Amino acid sequence: MRYLMIFALLVPGMAISEVYKCSDGVYQADPCGDATEALDLSHVGSTVENSHKVDKKNIQSYINNQQVERDISSLERQRKKALDQRDRRLSELKNSRRWAMNNLAGATWQQSLAQEMSAVSQQAETLVSTIDRQIAQLRTEFR
């Protein structure tokens, strides 16, 4: 008996009440007339919980978008760095062509410089195209 009383005190009873809409902006617990019906308030509590889930989803989406933007910025910096390195190396090779003599050895050296310039350009273009594909993939996946 004692346990039953403690249980009854610890577990509150659920209050079930009905709400009636009488006129615009007037609600009461008792019916207003014969034609009034009780309002269905069963969905009221669930709306608040769903809004928290939506907020978490929006927050996660925002975080993901920020990460994608940082990744794209990083890739764009890598692209610029690769192009700058290519330009610097090509400039060095062009400047070294001035030192070639006007003979067979100089012609051979100029030819090797031209081949090296071509290789530097191809290497940079390969790197830049890879970076461009990564940027395009990030933009299509997360936008």
The lowest-confidence range among 87-91, 103-107, 112-116 is 103-107
The pLDDT assigned to 13 comes to 42
Give the residue with greater pLDDT, 103 vs 79: 79
Distance CA 2, CA 8 (A): 10
In terms of C-beta density within 10 A (0-12 exposed, 13-18 middle, 19 or more buried), how is residue 51 classed? exposed
- List the chain domain ranges: 42-142
DSSP labels, 110-138: HHHHHHHHHHHHHHHHHHHHHHHHHHHHH
**56 residue type, one letter:** K
Lowest mean pLDDT among 22-26, 49-53, 80-84, 112-116: 49-53
What pLDDT sits at residue 12?
46
Which residue in 127, 123, 116 sits closest to 92, CA to CA? 116
Q: Inform me whether the pLDDT recorded for 131 exceeds 70.
A: yes
Judged against a pLDDT cut of 90, whether residue 2 lies above it is answered with no
Task: Name 38's bridge partners.
Answer: 20
Contacts of 135 (CB under 8 A, 6+ apart): 72, 75, 76, 79
Choice among 14-28, 38-52, 60-74, 87-101 with the minimum mean pLDDT: 38-52
Structure tokens at 53: 């889930």
**Residue of higher predicted confidence among 58 and 7:** 58
Half-sphere exposure of 55 (CA within 13 A, CB side): 6
Q: Which range among 92-96, 121-125, 127-131 shows the weakest confidence by mean pLDDT?
A: 92-96
